């Protein structure tokens, strides 16, 4: 199709959870609610803002960085699933070239993971000692798009269990440095023990957050610290636990406990008012394109359908500082044949994906 084709999206346009309109148009890649002159290509159904996958890795697979062709395939898979805004939660690859590609989703980067030596998956992170944390956080804050990613806990082989990665003082100084540079900080945390220190140090978000308890949930709620549970990833914990059973039985049992209570944890966090967002953790060992499954997982945890939708659309976009279906906003939207409010499983089958005002095949 030509650059200047006009789209007319009709049916139910879900501008907000309570704001439903009959139609919008896409003109020159932008949204308008005012009917333009001339012909338009019609698209009918339930329209949502382009979905957000708030924890995704482009340019990474289970072994580390991948080539550009593989990264492109990952981004296309997310796009075709309707995920048009990705928060990349850490990648060792330079994927800046994706920003020049009109046919690929938009990415909000967190730079490269920062971890302690041998305390994360090989080839993923800058592996550094706490004394260097401020410097590395500053570097990744400048390199990313407003986020920095820490590995907040991981198995400590000497302890034989998950253990916090960073002393409180160093992580506090590092988070302050990120904030000074205008970046927010998030951390990978599976266990309980790192959470209080990170929140008291001023962290903005925690990934996975399976270790939230009645002690830390009120703290997160009070400070407005968001979580991205990645339940499609947490589903793999029993498998990981099986693999580590012999060498690290304590770790293995811990992972099984965190898995067993995952839905209760997410539901308790949501009920306490903690902002919860949709993230799949695609790109490590998980496939891309799982955004719909993660929304469904949140509803299984007991989050109401409209809130689970908000966690990948309106609320997620506003959290990342990106517009939704607003006059003049970039025309990134997904149209479904069925009402996703009635059954979020409708998200698994986008009828049309519209990126920068163009219908993607
Ligand atoms: Zn991840």
- Look up the CATH number of the domain holding residue 21: 2.30.40.10
Domain membership of residue 69 (yes or no) is: yes
Cα 361 to middle of ligand 1, angstroms: 29
Residue 140 sits in the same domain as residue 30: no
For 301, the 3-state DSSP assignment is coil
Cα 241 to middle of ligand 1, angstroms: 18
Residue 354 sits in the same domain as residue 304: no
Cα separation of 91 and 199, whole Å? 24
Cα 234 to middle of ligand 1, angstroms: 11
Cα 279 to middle of ligand 1, angstroms: 9
Cα 232 to middle of ligand 1, angstroms: 11
Q: What total number of domains does the chain contain?
A: 2
Residue 102 sits in the same domain as residue 152: yes
Cα 91 to middle of ligand 1, angstroms: 9
Annotate 310-331 with DSSP letters as a single string.
HTTTHHHHHHTT---S-TTSB-
Domain membership of residue 19 (yes or no) is: yes
Domain membership of residue 22 (yes or no) is: yes
Start-to-end Cα distance in the chain: 10
Cα 209 to middle of ligand 1, angstroms: 12
| pTM more than 0.85 | yes
Cα 213 to middle of ligand 1, angstroms: 21
Cα 90 to middle of ligand 1, angstroms: 7
Separation in Å, CA 355 to CA 112, 282, 338, 360: 27, 21, 20, 7
Domain membership of residue 286 (yes or no) is: yes
Residue 178 sits in the same domain as residue 312: yes
Residue 29 sits in the same domain as residue 141: no
Residue 85 sits in the same domain as residue 198: yes
pLDDT score, position 1: 44
Cα 233 to middle of ligand 1, angstroms: 9
Cα separation of 335 and 26, whole Å? 13
Cα 284 to middle of ligand 1, angstroms: 7
pLDDT score, position 5: 81
Cα 291 to middle of ligand 1, angstroms: 14
Residue 215 sits in the same domain as residue 90: yes
Domain membership of residue 213 (yes or no) is: yes
| CATH number, domain containing residue 95 | 3.20.20.140
Residue 37 sits in the same domain as residue 184: no
Tens of pLDDT, residue by residue, the chain (361 residues): 445 589 999 999 999 999 999 999 999 999 999 999 999 999 999 999 999 999 999 999 999 999 999 999 999 999 999 999 999 999 999 999 999 999 999 999 999 999 999 999 999 999 999 999 999 999 999 999 999 999 999 999 999 999 999 999 999 999 999 999 999 999 999 999 999 999 999 999 999 999 999 999 999 999 999 999 999 999 999 999 999 999 999 999 999 999 999 999 999 999 999 999 999 999 988 999 999 999 999 999 999 999 999 999 999 999 999 999 999 999 999 999 999 999 999 999 999 999 999 999 6
Cα separation of 167 and 331, whole Å? 44
Cα 280 to middle of ligand 1, angstroms: 8
Cα 103 to middle of ligand 1, angstroms: 24
Domain membership of residue 303 (yes or no) is: yes
pLDDT score, position 361: 67
Residue 196 sits in the same domain as residue 258: yes
Residue 352 sits in the same domain as residue 227: no
Torsion sign (Cα): 289, 294, 297, 302: negative
Cα 281 to middle of ligand 1, angstroms: 5
Domain membership of residue 245 (yes or no) is: yes
Which residue, chain included where needed, has tokens 């932008």? 30
Separation in Å, CA 213 to CA 191, 258, 302: 10, 11, 17
Cα 158 to middle of ligand 1, angstroms: 24
Exposed/middle/buried for residue 50 (C-beta within 10 Å: 0-12, 13-18, 19+): buried
Domain membership of residue 1 (yes or no) is: no
Cα 102 to middle of ligand 1, angstroms: 25
Cα 320 to middle of ligand 1, angstroms: 17
Cα 134 to middle of ligand 1, angstroms: 21
Residue 261 sits in the same domain as residue 351: no
Cα 24 to middle of ligand 1, angstroms: 35
Cα 148 to middle of ligand 1, angstroms: 12
Cα separation of 248 and 20, whole Å? 52
Cα 223 to middle of ligand 1, angstroms: 23
Cα 57 to middle of ligand 1, angstroms: 7
Residue 24 sits in the same domain as residue 131: no
Q: In terms of Cα–Cα distance, which of 175, 171, 215 is closest to 193? A: 215
Q: Which residue segment(s) compose the domain that 15 sits in?
A: 6-48+324-360
Exposed/middle/buried for residue 159 (C-beta within 10 Å: 0-12, 13-18, 19+): exposed
Cα separation of 274 and 296, whole Å? 19
């Amino acid at each position: 199709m030509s650059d200047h084709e006009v789209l007319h999206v009709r049916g139910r346009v879900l501008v907000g959870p309570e704001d439903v309109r009959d139609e919008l148009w896409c003109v020159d890649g932008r949204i308008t609610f005012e009917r333009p002159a001339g012909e338009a290509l019609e698209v009918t159904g339930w329209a949502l803002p382009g979905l957000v996958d708030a924890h995704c890795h482009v340019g990474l697979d289970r072994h580390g960085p991948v080539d550009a062709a593989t990264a492109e395939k990952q981004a296309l898979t997310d796009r075709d699933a309707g995920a048009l805004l990705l928060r990349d939660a850490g990648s060792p690859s330079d994927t800046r070239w994706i920003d020049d590609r009109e046919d690929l989703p938009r990415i909000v980067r967190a730079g490269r993971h920062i971890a302690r030596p041998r305390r994360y998956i090989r080839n993923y992170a800058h592996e550094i000692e706490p004394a260097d944390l401020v410097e590395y956080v500053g570097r990744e804050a400048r390199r990313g798009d407003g986020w920095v990613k820490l590995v907040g806990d991981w198995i400590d082989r000497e302890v034989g269990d998950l253990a916090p990665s960073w002393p409180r003082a160093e992580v506090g100084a590092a988070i302050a440095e990120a904030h000074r540079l205008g970046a927010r900080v998030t951390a990978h945390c599976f266990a309980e023990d790192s959470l209080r220190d990170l929140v008291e140090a001023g962290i903005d978000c925690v990934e996975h957050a399976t270790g939230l308890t009645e002690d830390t949930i009120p703290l997160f709620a009070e400070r407005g610290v968001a979580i991205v549970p990645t339940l499609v990833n947490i589903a793999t914990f029993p498998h990981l636990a099986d693999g580590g059973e012999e060498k690290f039985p304590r770790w293995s049992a811990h992972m099984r406990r965190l898995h067993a209570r995952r839905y209760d944890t997410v539901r308790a966090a949501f009920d306490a008012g903690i902002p919860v967002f949709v993230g799949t953790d695609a790109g490590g060992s998980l496939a891309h394109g799982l955004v719909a499954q993660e929304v469904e997982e949140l509803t299984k945890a007991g989050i109401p359908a409209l809130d689970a939708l908000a966690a990948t659309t309106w609320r997620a976009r506003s959290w990342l500082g990106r517009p939704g279906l607003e006059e003049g906003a970039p025309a990134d939207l997904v149209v479904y044949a069925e009402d996703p409010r009635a059954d979020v499983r409708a998200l698994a089958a986008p009828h049309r994906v519209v990126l920068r005002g163009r219908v993607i095949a």
